[in-house]
Amino acid sequence: GAGVSQSPSNKVTEKGKDVELRCDPISGHTALYWYRQRLGQGLEFLIYFQGNSAPDKSGLPSDRFSAERTGESVSTLTIQRTQQEDSAVYLCASSPFYGYTFGSGTRLTVV
Amino acid sequence: ELKVEQNPLFLSMQEGKNYTIYCNYSTTSDRLYWYRQDPGKSLESLFVLLSNGAVKQEGRLMASLDTKARLSTLHITAAVHDLSATYFCAVQETSGSRLTFGEGTQLTVNP
C-alpha cells in the first residue's frame, strides 16, 4: 500500500485481557517505530526496529509490553494483562532512512 | 537523555497575525522534524531540517534550524483558521536513532 497501515483502528478491551496491535509499514522501509499518545499528550517512544538489528526496546513501559517484527515487514505490539492506564492511541511509523510516515493509529480503550 | 521542549504549549491567535513556535533540544542533533496533528488524526509531516541554517517554507509556515543554539523555530505568517492544529517538533540525535518529540503546541486561530 501507499501508506503505513494499522489495525484495528479502534479496540475496546476489558481490563486484564491481552491485545495485539498490527502495523504494516511502507514497503522497503527498513525502520519501524511504535509510539504511544495519551489523550492531550505528546508522543512517547516505545520500541524501534531497524532492519535485522536488535530492536531498541528501551521505551517499553513494563514487561507486559512486547513487540515483534519479521524482517522488514509487519510488526505486532502485544500488551498483556491490560490496565486502564494503557488506554491511549498507539502509533506506528516507518522510515527508509530519514523522514517518517505515521499510520493512523490504534485507539485502545481499556474498560 | 535527549530532551525536547516546545513553547508555547498553547497559542491562541487572530487571523492575519504572525507568531513563532520555539523548539529547544538538549544534545547535538543533525535532524529535526516538524509535524502537524489535527484532532483525532495521525501526524502529518511538515518539514525535515537536516543542517545548520536550514530554512524551509510551505505556504504560511516557515521552519528554521540553528544547531549551534539547539533551536528550531516554526514561524506562522498571516495565520488563517485552517492552521488550527497541534504542532510537534521531533529531534533525532543521529542517523538511525529514535525520534524524541516535544510536548506539542496547540494552536487555535480565531476569526
What's A54's DSSP letter?
P
User: Which chain B residues are closer than 8 Å to A43 by Cβ?
Assistant: 43, 88, 90, 99, 101
Average pLDDT, chain B: 92
Q: Span A21-32, mean pLDDT?
A: 94
CB B23 within 8 A of CB B6: yes
Q: Give the E-state strand segments of chain B in sequence order.
A: 4-7, 10-14, 19-25, 31-37, 43-49, 55-58, 61-66, 71-76, 85-92, 99-101, 105-110
Which burial class, exposed, middle or buried, applies to B51 when counting CB atoms under 10 A from its CB (0-12, 13-18, 19+)? Answer: exposed
Mean pLDDT by groups of 10 residues along chain B of 111 residues: 92 95 90 92 92 91 94 96 96 78 95 87
Closest CA of chain A from B34, distance in Å: 10
Chain B residues near residue A47 by CB distance under 8 angstroms? none
Instruction: Spell out the alpha helix ranges (H) of chain B.
Output: none
- B98 closest CB neighbour out of A41, A45, A91: A45
Q: Which three cell numbers stand for residue A108?
A: 485502545
pLDDT at residue A106 is higher than 60: yes
pLDDT of residue A83 exceeding 70: yes
- Whether B15 and chain A come into contact, CB under 8 Å, resolves to no
CB contact B69 to A (< 8 Å):
no
**Residue range A98-105: average pLDDT?**
89
Give the pLDDT of residue A41: 85
Cα B98–B101–B107 angle (5° rounding)?
Answer: 155
Residue A70 has pLDDT above 90, yes or no: no
What would the pLDDT profile of B73-102 be if each residue is shown by its tens digit? 999 999 999 999 999 999 987 766 788 999
